[in-house]
């Protein structure tokens, strides 16, 4: 881990981080004793209300890295929103809300409200009338509430942009800057992301003062243990290949990624024809249905979740045995995020990427090079998998 360019090796226990008894109790309840590297690095600075940019791979505990100091800064008697988290998707916003609620379980009077699009606004307005100190929101819906004056942000002290790079490249940059401009009394901003893009640096340049930069490399300590394969396969055989792999691998929980909403629906259909229990999640599916699907998947009631990158981003779904890249991802970072769903919590994971055209092969070459991952080549032909020799192209 690096803090402002200096490499730090020490990882701290929560009881070394000046955390109050009520939050320690909540951590204890979950059995957490040692802070993750990004938490060890960010918590002390965030506690002092310093600006922070933290870059750490998916699944390394960024939520608590900002969540613990935010909850710590809440006044349980207070009636103003003082803590604001912005997240790119509704699912992520809800997940952050849940994590924060867990953290303040033993802090009576601290309330967390989640504001996101695609759900009735009246219910959210009612919740806001309960005077939460923490608001977790997607930028669009928060803007709605601000226009209606159903939320007041003039007492906000701390703002966090979670999955900052994603949020900015999803076109929220104007909403985000608008929101930041209106929060005149803020003391600090935290940006948490697996990657730091130029847009994130631009926001930092304008809105942060002397930020502490924390970088957690995907080193051996964090790097998930994932066996990666790329498989040459005819387009028309992909669903069959996936079914075969699921059957022979004995995998109980899988995520399959597609590049388009359309393809997730089609793949879900193809898998169901093969009696594989699955559901698709993407942006056009109703919020309530998406949540139900995710819950069923978490509860182990469904074998395969078929998702687009946007829908799956930031979701804390661990315990996935295998990830399928049914389509080769468009961006190298997506590859890293996708396969990061497996091999979490030091379990062994497997990732398969299907390549069905020269374009996809080249895209995959580029991913392998760009992410410096070790990926074995296989070929699916006449119902069998063949190992291909390493040919030096990657
Ligand atoms: O945001 P990011 O992808 O970095 O990870 P997260 O969703 O905050 O955390 C991934 C998982 O690590 C969650 O299930 C946490 O509860 C868990 N965890 C943690 O945050 N801190 C620990 N000390 C141990 C586990
Ligand atoms: Mg996160």
Question: Domains, the chain, ranges and CATH?
Answer: 2-215 (3.40.50.300), 225-387 (3.40.50.300)
Which ligand 1 atom is nearest residue 30's CA? 16
Check pLDDT > 50 for residue 27. Answer: yes
Ligand 1 nearest atom to the CA of residue 36, by list position? 23
Cα 184 to middle of ligand 2, angstroms: 26
The residue behind tokens 């992909």 is 238
Residue 286: per-residue pLDDT: 83
CA-nearest residue, atom 24 of ligand 1: 32
The predicted-structure confidence for 317-368, as pLDDT tens digits, reads as follows 767 899 999 999 998 878 988 888 888 665 788 999 999 999 999 999 999 9
Lowest mean pLDDT among 161-170, 294-303, 382-391: 382-391
| CA 63–ligand 2 middle distance (angstroms) | 5
Average pLDDT over residues 163-178: 91
28 φ/ψ angles, rounded to the nearest 5 degrees: -60, -40
Distance 309 CA to ligand 2 centre (A): 14
DSSP codes of every residue in 84-133: EEE-SSHHHHHHHHHHHHHHTTTSTT--EEEE-TTS-HHHHHHHHTT--S
How far is the centre of ligand 1, averaged over its atoms, from the C-alpha of 59 (Å)?
Answer: 5
Give the residue with greater pLDDT, 388 vs 297. 297
78-92, 186-200, 372-386, range with the lowest pLDDT: 372-386
Q: Which atom of ligand 1 is nearest to the CA of 14?
A: 23
Residue 41 and residue 52: Cα distance in Å, rounded? 10
Residue 18 CA: distances (Å) to CA of 22, 51, 98, 102: 12, 19, 23, 19
Q: What are phi and psi of 72, to 5 degrees?
A: -60, -35
Q: How far is the CA of 61 from the centre of ligand 2 (A)?
A: 7
CB atoms within 10 A of CB 327: 23
Alpha helices, H only, 163-214:
164-167, 173-182, 198-207
Mean pLDDT for 219-232 is 76
pLDDT at position 318, please? Answer: 64
User: DSSP of 248-308, one letter per residue?
Assistant: HHT-S-EEEE-SSHHHHHHHHHHHHHTT--EEEE-TTS-HHHHHHHHHHHHTT--SEEEE-
- Cα(259)–Cα(325) distance, rounded to whole angstroms? 9
Q: 302 pLDDT band (50/70/90 cuts)?
A: very high
**Where residue 392 falls among pLDDT bands split at 50, 70, 90?**
very low
Q: Which residues of 194-226 are buried (b: 16+ CB within 10 A; e: fewer)?
A: bbbeebbeebbeebbeebbbbbbebeeebebeb
Distance (angstroms) between ligand 1 centre and the Cα of 127 equals 27
To test the ligand 1 pocket, which listed residue (314, 316, 320, 333) has its Cβ within 8 A of the most ligand atoms?
A: 316
Pocket around ligand 1 at a 6 A CB cut-off? 32, 34-36, 56, 58-64, 316
Residue 220 reports pLDDT greater than 80: no
Strand-pair partners of 280: 306
Looking at the CA of residue 340, tell me the nearest atom of ligand 1: 3
Least confident of 6-10, 194-198, 346-350, 367-371: 6-10
Structure confidence at residue 284 (pLDDT): 86
How is residue 391 written in tokens?
A: 């040919």
Summarize the confidence of residues 111-120 as an average pLDDT.
Answer: 96
Tell me what the pLDDT averaged over the chain comes to. Answer: 91
Q: 7: pLDDT confidence band, cut at 50, 70 and 90?
A: confident
Considering only CA atoms, which residue is closest to atom 23 of ligand 1?
A: 35
β-bridge partners, 281:
307
Q: Would you state the structure tokens that stand for residue 143, as one six-digit string?
A: 């803007």
């Amino acid at each position: 881990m690096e803090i402002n360019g200096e490499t730090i090796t020490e990882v701290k226990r929560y009881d070394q981080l000046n955390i109050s008894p009520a939050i320690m109790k909540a951590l204890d309840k979950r059995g957490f004793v040692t802070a993750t590297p990004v938490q060890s690095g960010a918590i002390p600075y965030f506690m002092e209300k310093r600006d922070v940019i933290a870059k750490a791979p998916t699944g390394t505990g960024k939520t608590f890295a900002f969540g613990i100091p935010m909850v710590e800064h809440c006044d349980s008697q207070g009636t103003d929103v003082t803590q604001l988290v912005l997240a790119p998707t509704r699912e992520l916003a809800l997940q952050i809300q849940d994590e924060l609620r867990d953290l303040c379980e033993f802090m009576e009077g601290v309330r967390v409200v989640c504001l996101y699009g695609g759900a009735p606004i009246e219910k959210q307005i009612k919740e806001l009338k309960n005077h939460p100190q923490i608001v977790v929101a997607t930028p669009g819906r928060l803007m709605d509430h601000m226009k209606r004056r159903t939320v007041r942000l003039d007492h906000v002290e701390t703002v966090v942009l979670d999955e900052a790079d994603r949020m900015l490249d999803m076109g929220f940059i104007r909403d985000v800057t608008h929101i930041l401009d209106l929060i005149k009394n803020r003391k600090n901003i935290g940006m948490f992301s697996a990657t730091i893009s130029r847009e994130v640096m631009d926001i930092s340049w304008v809105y942060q003062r002397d930020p502490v930069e924390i970088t957690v490399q995907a080193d051996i300590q964090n790097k998930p243990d994932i066996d990666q394969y790329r498989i040459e396969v005819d387009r028309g055989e992909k669903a069959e290949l996936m079914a075969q792999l699921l059957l022979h691998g004995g995998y109980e929980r899988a995520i399959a990624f597609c590049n388009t909403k359309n393809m997730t629906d089609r793949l879900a259909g193809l898998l169901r024809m093969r009696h594989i229990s699955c559901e698709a999640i993407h942006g056009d599916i109703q919020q309530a249905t998406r949540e139900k699907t995710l819950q069923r998947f978490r509860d182990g009631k469904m074998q395969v979740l078929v998702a687009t990158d946007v829908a799956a981003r930031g979701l804390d779904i661990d315990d996935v045995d295998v990830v399928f890249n049914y389509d080769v991802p468009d961006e190298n970072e997506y590859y890293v995020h996708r396969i990061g769903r497996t091999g979490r919590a030091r379990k062994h994971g497997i990732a398969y990427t299907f390549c069905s055209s020269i374009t996809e092969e080249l895209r995959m070459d580029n991913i392998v090079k760009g992410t410096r991952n070790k990926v074995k080549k296989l070929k699916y032909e006449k119902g069998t998998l063949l190992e291909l020799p390493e040919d030096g192209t990657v």
